[in-house]
Amino acid sequence: MTDGPFADKELVAGFWMIQVKSKGEAIEWAKRVPFADGEVVEIRQVFEAADFPPEVMSPRMPRASNHARGAAEEVMLMKILIALAVIVIVFVVVVALRPSEYRVARTLMISAPPPAVFAQVNDFHKWDAWNPWAKIDPAMRQTYAGAPAGPAPFYTGPATRRSARDA
């Protein structure tokens, strides 16, 4: 403990601020303070700017005591709005710079020689062995046209409600 300017080193001081409606209510609160005989409790009234009549107020002084708090809230609100606007602008710029087209690619490692895999995917008639739509709707009608294999075969399979729903 650092020594202060007082001769009595046992002195501890402090204060409480309470808001009450009358001086009598303040006295009732002061009677509840747990002090020993001879100790003193002072009751002082604290005035706010709103307690004074307008004619004694300087034009530079705020009318209400919460003026500073209101100004701080306005500054904080402005900072939040600016931060939100920056986030929205960054989001719009990022979205605008994204390509308008995208590509989804999936890869799968198949433990088979390339000619065996190519024979399966090159012929639509063999497609039922691994076609996911055929597994979802086995009753789906399929139509094949063109060459049975190679670059020009044609396949159609009209979807039923079940296959469209389960897709």
Task: Specify the higher pLDDT residue, 1 or 16.
Answer: 16
Contact 139, 159 (CB under 8 A): no
Closest alpha carbon to 46 in 12, 14, 20, 28? 20
Ramachandran area for residue 7 (φ above 0: left; ψ -120 to 50: alpha; else beta): alpha
Residue 97 is predicted with a pLDDT of: 92
Strands (E), the chain: 143-145, 154-156
pTM to 2 decimal places: 0.29
pLDDT tens per residue, range 85-126: 999 999 999 999 998 888 888 888 888 898 988 888 888 778
**137-162 mean pLDDT:** 71
pLDDT band of residue 79 (cuts 50, 70, 90) is: very high
Q: Which residues pair with 149 in a beta bridge?
A: 123
Residue 5 is predicted with a pLDDT of: 64
